[in-house]
Amino acid sequence: MVTGGVKTVGIDLGSANTLIYVQNKGIVLREPSVVSIDTNDGSLVAVGKEAKAMIGKNPKNIQVIRPLRDGVIADFDITRIMIKHFLRSVLNNFSIRSPWVIISIPYGITDIERRAVMEAAQQSGAKKTLLIEEPLAAAIGAGLSVEEPSGHMIVNIGAGTSEIAVISLGGIVTAASLKAAGDALDMAIYNHLKKTYRVEIGLITAENFKIQFGDAYNASEETAHIRGIDLKTGLPIAKEVSLREINSVIQDTLRDLILAIRKVFENTPPQLASDIIEKGIVLTGGGANLKNLDKYISSKVKLAVVIPPEPEDCVALGTGKITKNTKILTRISLMGYQNFP
C-alpha cells in the first residue's frame, strides 16, 4: 500500500493525448501523444505539442510519429521515449523521487505491451508501477463506487478505441473494445469529403471540423465551408459542405459502437443488468464531447446516458484517486493488474 511520503503519479496513456496526474497537485501535464525524430541520425526533435504542430509540415528528414494507434502500441521504442520524456519532465518540475506510477492501459492489451509500458516507467525513475485498464480507471475518475456489489456500465471513447465495460466489486465483469472512436470519425469525414466533394484535407482539419460542426443526433440543414485541395485542379479551395451529410457520416461510423454496447449489455448477468437499467450508462473520454452523443446513444440502446464533468479527464483522475481507496487497490492487486518489478 502507498504510505508515508511516497508520491504517486498517474498516467493516462492515450492514442491522442497523454495526461499525468500528481498526488495533491491534480493533472499537471496534458500533451499530444506525438514524437518527431530526425531520420538522419535518429535523434529526438520534439515531443508533444511541438511534435504535433509538425504534422503535415515536416521535411523529409523529420518523421512525425504517433506511437499509439487504435488503442495499441504501434511503436514500442518511441512509446518508451515519449513516456520517459513526459514522466521525467514532471518528476523534475515537482522534485519527485522514486514515485509509485499508475498507468492506464487499453482493455485487452498484450503482455508484451504491458512490459513495454512498465519498462518505460521504470527507466524514468518509478519505484513501483501499477497498470490499470482504462474503463476501470475512467469509472473511478467519474466518481462511481466501483468496489460495491453493484453494476456500472462505462463507455470510454478515446481517439484510438472505444471501450465498453460493466464493472462491479472493483473489477471488469464483461467488456469490449473497438476502433469506432475519435480517429475513426476523423477518417470518415476525411474520406467523405474526398469521395463526394473531391476535396482533400488533413486529418487535423477533419478533427477540427468534427469538433466545431459534428453532431451525433440532430441533422442540421445548414452548411459550412471547409478549406482543402481541389483534387481536380490541385489548387486550394473553400468548399461548402452539407452538415446533414456529415451527421450521417458520423452516425454510420458510430453504428459498431451501438452494436458493441448492446452486446456487452446482453452478456451482463441479470442482477447487474438491472442495476444498469436503473443507473444508465456513464460516458467518458474525449469522444464524449461530441455534440449530442449522449442523446444518440440513449435513443439507440434505450438507456439513460450521463456525461460527468470534464469526461476527457476521467481516466487520468482515476489513476490519481485509486491509491486513496484501499478497497479498490486491494481488489485490483488480487485480480492481477499489479505488476511490480
Looking at residue 122, what is its pLDDT? 83
Helices 111-123 & 76-93, crossing angle to 10 degrees? 40
Alpha helices in 55-174 (DSSP H): 76-93, 111-123, 134-141
DSSP three-state, residue 62: strand
Return the exposure string of 65-95: e unless at least 16 CB atoms fall within 10 Å of the residue's CB, then b: bbbbbbbbbebbebbbbbbbbbbebbbeeee
The residues spanned by each domain of the chain are 8-137+314-334, 144-180+255-312, 182-249
Class of domain 182-249: alpha beta
Looking at residue 108, what is its pLDDT? 76
Looking at residue 282, what is its pLDDT? 98
Q: Are 94 and 28 in contact (CB under 8 A)?
A: yes
DSSP 145-207: -TTSSS-EEEEEE-SS-EEEEEEETTEEEEEEEES-SHHHHHHHHHHHHHHHS-EE--HHHHH
In the chain, count H helices and then E strands: 11, 18
CA distance 261 to 78: 33
Chunk the chain into consecutive blocks of 10 residues (it has 341) and report each block's average pLDDT, rounded to whole numbers: 65 92 92 94 94 89 89 82 90 86 84 82 83 92 91 95 93 91 95 95 93 92 93 94 95 96 96 96 97 97 97 94 66 43 37
- CATH architecture for the domain at 144-180+255-312: 2-Layer Sandwich (3.30)
| Count of residues in the chain | 341
The cell numbers describing 73, all together, are 502500441
Instruction: Tell me the C-alpha to C-alpha distance, in Å, between residue 97 and each of 54, 82, 255.
Output: 33, 19, 46
Looking at residue 272, what is its pLDDT? 96
Query: Which residue carries 492487486 as its cell?
Result: 333
CA distance 179 to 256: 9
Looking at residue 228, what is its pLDDT? 95
The cell numbers describing 65, all together, are 510519429
DSSP three-state, residue 100: strand
CA distance 317 to 195: 40
Which amino acid is it at 92? N
Q: Are 228 and 199 in contact (CB under 8 A)?
A: yes
CATH fold of the domain at 8-137+314-334: Nucleotidyltransferase; domain 5 (3.30.420)
CA distance 147 to 327: 7
Looking at residue 329, what is its pLDDT? 62
CA distance 159 to 134: 13
Looking at residue 327, what is its pLDDT? 59
CA distance 93 to 99: 14
